[in-house]
């Protein structure tokens, strides 16, 4: 997934494409055992499918082979593309957290910086297996709620509750978990998401510190 995030930035594709590619990998691996030396091929092929679904002008097969450093052949990617689609029964319109996140942020009139902070939080979860079973809508709501708390905008929580359908009390365990993820991100060897959101174009949202655990509990218990 860390590699896929690098690929998205290289091709300047949408975040929707990235999230869908990760979902396609997850759903495929629930059905099929994939050898370790084929994982990069799986990731790039999932990216190819996601790009065809989400992008107005997607990169070609050769581009996806190029980012694999020429390890795989064109016929291998096309064969796997067919295999993924057949395994998933062509049901690739999978809800992703990013779709919900954009909608919730628009509904609560969040600023671009607050939305970007919530995107950073949400994207960090793509690399963590603990979140794979979390509903996309709930993960988006939890990411945005934590961003609101971090930006001292907790007064928007009722609006998020209304538009997401989740009570804030339902989201609190997830918010705690996400705050811990941000607090201990430095222990992870996967740095791509953090480096990406450290850039000026993303408002350098990584400089916004996660909430102190005691402060967070105080907010959640209000």
3-state secondary structure of 91: coil
Q: What angle do CA 199, 132, 206 make, to 5 degrees?
A: 20
Classify residue 22 as exposed, middle or buried by CB count within 10 Å of its CB (0-12, 13-18, 19+).
buried
Token digits for 17? 């494409």
Tokens 């708390």, residue located: 149
Report residues of the chain scoring pLDDT below 50: none
Straight-line distance from the first to the last Cα atom of the chain, in angstroms, rounded to the nearest whole number: 37
Contact 71, 110 (CB under 8 A): no
Token digits for 159? 């609006």
> Do the first three CATH levels of 2-87 and 97-220 match, i.e. the same topology?
yes
3-state secondary structure of 191: coil
**3.30.450.20, 1.10.472.10, 3.90.25.10, 2.60.40.3470: CATH of 97-220:** 1.10.472.10
Distance CA 141, CA 160 (A): 7
**Exposure class string for 180-212: b at 16+ Cβ within 10 A, else e:** ebbeebeeeeeebbbebbeeeebbebbebebbe
Give the per-residue pLDDT at 45: 96
Distance CA 202, CA 46 (A): 26
For the chain, domain boundaries = 2-87, 97-220
- Topology adopted by domain 2-87: Cyclin A; domain 1 (1.10.472)
Distance CA 122, CA 198 (A): 15
Model confidence over 32-73: pLDDT tens digits? Answer: 999 999 999 999 999 999 999 999 988 889 988 988 888 999
Give the per-residue pLDDT at 186: 67
Contact 146, 179 (CB under 8 A): yes
């Amino acid at each position: 997934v860390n590699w896929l995030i690098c690929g998205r930035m290289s091709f300047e594709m949408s975040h929707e494409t990235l999230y869908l590619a990760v979902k396609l990998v997850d759903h495929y691996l629930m059905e099929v055992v994939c050898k370790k030396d084929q994982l990069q091929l799986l990731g790039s092929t999932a990216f190819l499918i996601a790009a065809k679904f989400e992008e107005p002008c997607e990169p070609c097969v050769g581009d996806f082979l190029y980012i694999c450093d020429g390890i795989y052949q064109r016929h291998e990617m096309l064969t796997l593309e067919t295999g993924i689609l057949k395994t998933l029964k062509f049901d690739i319109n999978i809800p992703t957290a990013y779709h919900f996140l954009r909608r919730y942020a628009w509904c609560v009139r969040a600023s671009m910086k607050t939305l970007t902070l919530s995107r950073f939080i949400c994207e960090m979860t793509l690399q963590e297996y603990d979140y794979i079973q979390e509903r996309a809508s709930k993960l988006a709501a939890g990411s945005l709620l934590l961003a609101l708390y971090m930006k001292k905008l907790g007064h928007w929580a009722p609006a998020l509750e209304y538009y997401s359908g989740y009570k804030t009390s339902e989201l609190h365990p997830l918010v705690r978990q996400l705050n811990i993820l941000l607090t201990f991100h430095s222990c992870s060897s996967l740095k791509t998401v953090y480096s990406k959101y450290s850039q000026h174009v993303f408002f350098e949202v990584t400089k916004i510190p996660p909430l102190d655990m005691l402060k967070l509990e105080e907010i959640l218990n209000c």
